[in-house]
């Protein structure tokens, strides 16, 4: 008998018409292309629209999302969720720790303080080979995972708003 606690519930809450923001850090262009491909495929499969903003690196992603949320709300075209995509590869200095921890903290702060559905697809890896294994849609598809996480949080938000 399967453990019911481990089986994810299929939330059928309607997210049609949703608008999702993807903010991508283009530090590793080829890896980023793979992450973006996975995320866009998931969003298209869910039938939601998306916009893409590109920033220089992972540290800029949380601020770009916050700026875009405010700008979109001001124009009456609010975003319903966001997907953060990037890659941080460990180097010889503590820069890796700063970028990976602070970008993650910034995303969590943003999601919690604004109660905003967000999927974190910023890879934090030791090598480029690890990044490729996580980025490719044919392998771990972390771009797709981040998009699915954002959509799952959006479904939760919409379902609970109706309760």
Q: List active site positions.
A: 95
Q: How far apart are the two ends of the chain, measured CA to CA in Å?
A: 32
Tokens 């200095």 sit on residue: 93
Tokens 């992972």 sit on residue: 58
| Parallel, antiparallel or unpaired: strands 19-25 and 81-89 | parallel
Report the Cα 66 to chain-centroid distance in Å.
Answer: 14
Cα separation of 93 and 30, whole Å? Answer: 24
Beta carbons within 8 Å of 64's beta carbon, 6+ residues apart: 23, 53, 55
21 touches 79 (CB < 8 A) = yes
């Amino acid at each position: 008998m399967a453990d019911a606690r481990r089986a994810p519930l299929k939330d059928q809450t309607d997210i049609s018409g949703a608008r999702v923001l993807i903010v991508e850090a283009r530090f590793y262009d080829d890896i980023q292309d793979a992450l973006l491909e996975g995320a866009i495929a998931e969003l298209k499969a869910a039938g939601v629209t998306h916009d893409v903003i590109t920033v220089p690196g992972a540290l800029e992603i949380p601020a770009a999302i916050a700026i875009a949320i405010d700008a979109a709300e001001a124009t009456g075209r609010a975003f319903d969720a966001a997907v953060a995509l990037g890659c941080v590869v460990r180097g010889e200095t503590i820069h890796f720790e700063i970028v990976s921890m602070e970008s993650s903290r910034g995303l969590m702060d943003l999601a919690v303080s604004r109660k905003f559905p967000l999927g974190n697809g910023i890879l934090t890896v030791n090598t480029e080979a690890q990044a490729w294994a996580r980025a490719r849609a044919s392998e771990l598809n972390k771009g797709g995972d981040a998009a699915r996480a954002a959509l799952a949080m959006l479904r939760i938000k919409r379902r609970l708003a109706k309760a």
